């Protein structure tokens, strides 16, 4: 960063020495003005930062993948301080005809091969984020929506949370929304790590069955529910810095 600023200041001084030019350096950007024309050249770091802030990102939620749920997210910047995205995941269960898992199971909560309806679910989550500093950089606050269809049972959660899914099988839908906060940390030129946590409140409408592996219906499970939201994601940002540098050098 220091070397870039020194280079910019040296180049600015040389150019301003010419009688017909005026110039100034500010925030890793050199601007040279002649008559009514101004040309600005950004340093590589400043160019990279601007490309990151304007590039869409494709990511995977590692926390979701930890319960053997394939998932994918796509996020698009909406200016300098806002972004919008959508994430989704689908975890199949066991084929009831063959008793063979449709998707490999490896999480501690999902290792019983004889349980046909342990943790299958489908969920889609649109979201909107506000970045005080710059898009995809530092802290953010978000608003989230969710739709989920689930068929789960036999899961004993810590602290006695959601005891119904430990004693019964619930199959139904959940609609809701909530808030989250988090931060983005850049790992490489294109990859960043996103950490966030929040809560989603909404309405559940599910059928309750007597046990996780049987089909005897015993009633309904309906009403307001609050669920946590955890996001530990790796995102890849789609931009071509070399191409942008070539375009800049041609100006």
> Average pLDDT for residues 83-99, to the nearest whole number?
81
Q: By 3-state DSSP, what share of the chain in percent is helix, strand and coil, each rounded to 5?
A: 20, 50, 30
Instruction: Please check whether residues 217 and 109 belong to one and the same domain.
Output: yes
Query: According to the model, what pLDDT value does residue 197 have?
Result: 96
CB atoms within 10 A of CB 144: 22
pLDDT higher than 60, residue 201: yes
> Average pLDDT for residues 70-74, to the nearest whole number?
94
CA dist 225 to 51, 147, 185, Å?
A: 40, 13, 32
Domain count, the chain: 2
Residue 26: domain span: 2-42
137 or 105: whose pLDDT is higher?
137
Instruction: Please check whether residues 160 and 80 belong to one and the same domain.
Output: yes
Query: According to the model, what pLDDT value does residue 146 have?
Result: 96
Give domain status of residue 154, yes or no: yes
Give domain status of residue 244, yes or no: no
Q: What is the chain's mean pLDDT, rounded?
A: 77
Instruction: Please check whether residues 6 and 86 belong to one and the same domain.
Output: no
Question: Is the four-CA dihedral 177, 183, 188, 189 of positive or negative sign?
Answer: positive
Interatomic CA distance for residues 8 and 28, integer angstroms = 7
pLDDT by residue (tens digit) across 10-45? Answer: 444 434 443 343 443 344 444 445 455 554 544 566
Query: According to the model, what pLDDT value does residue 13 have?
Result: 47
Query: According to the model, what pLDDT value does residue 69 have?
Result: 86
Query: According to the model, what pLDDT value does residue 129 have?
Result: 96
Query: According to the model, what pLDDT value does residue 54 have?
Result: 72
Question: Is the four-CA dihedral 55, 61, 65, 71 of positive or negative sign?
Answer: negative
Find the helix or strand (DSSP H, E) in which 241 lies: helix 241-250
> Average pLDDT for residues 104-108, to the nearest whole number?
58
Query: According to the model, what pLDDT value does residue 124 have?
Result: 96
Query: According to the model, what pLDDT value does residue 20 have?
Result: 40
Query: According to the model, what pLDDT value does residue 16 have?
Result: 43
Instruction: Please check whether residues 34 and 104 belong to one and the same domain.
Output: no
Q: Residue 102 in contact with residue 156, Cβ under 8 Å?
A: no
Supply the CATH number for residue 183's domain. 2.40.160
Interatomic CA distance for residues 236 and 100, integer angstroms = 34
């Amino acid at each position: 960063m220091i070397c870039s600023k020194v280079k910019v200041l040296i180049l600015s001084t040389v150019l301003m020495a010419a009688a017909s030019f005026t110039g100034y350096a500010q925030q890793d950007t050199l601007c040279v003005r002649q008559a009514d024309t101004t040309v600005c050249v950004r340093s590589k770091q400043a160019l990279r930062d601007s490309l990151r802030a304007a590039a869409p990102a494709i990511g995977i939620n590692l926390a979701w993948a930890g319960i053997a749920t394939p998932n994918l997210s796509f996020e698009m910047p909406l200016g300098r301080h806002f972004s919008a995205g959508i994430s989704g995941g689908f975890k199949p269960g066991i084929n009831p005809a063959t008793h063979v898992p449709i998707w490999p199971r490896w999480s501690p909560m999902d290792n019983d091969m004889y349980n046909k309806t342990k943790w299958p679910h489908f969920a889609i989550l649109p979201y909107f984020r506000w970045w005080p500093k710059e898009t995809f950089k530092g802290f953010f606050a978000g608003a989230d929506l969710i739709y989920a269809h689930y068929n789960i049972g036999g899961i004993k959660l810590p602290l006695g949370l959601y005891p119904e899914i430990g004693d019964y099988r619930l199959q139904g839908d959940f609609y809701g929304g909530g808030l989250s906060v988090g931060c983005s940390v850049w790992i490489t030129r294109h990859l960043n790590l996103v950490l966030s946590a929040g809560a989603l409140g909404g309405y559940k409408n599910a059928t309750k069955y007597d046990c996780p592996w049987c089909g005897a219906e015993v009633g309904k499970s309906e009403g307001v529910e609050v669920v946590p939201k955890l996001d530990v994601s790796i995102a890849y940002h789609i931009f071509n810095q070399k191409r942008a540098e070539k375009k800049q050098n041609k100006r």
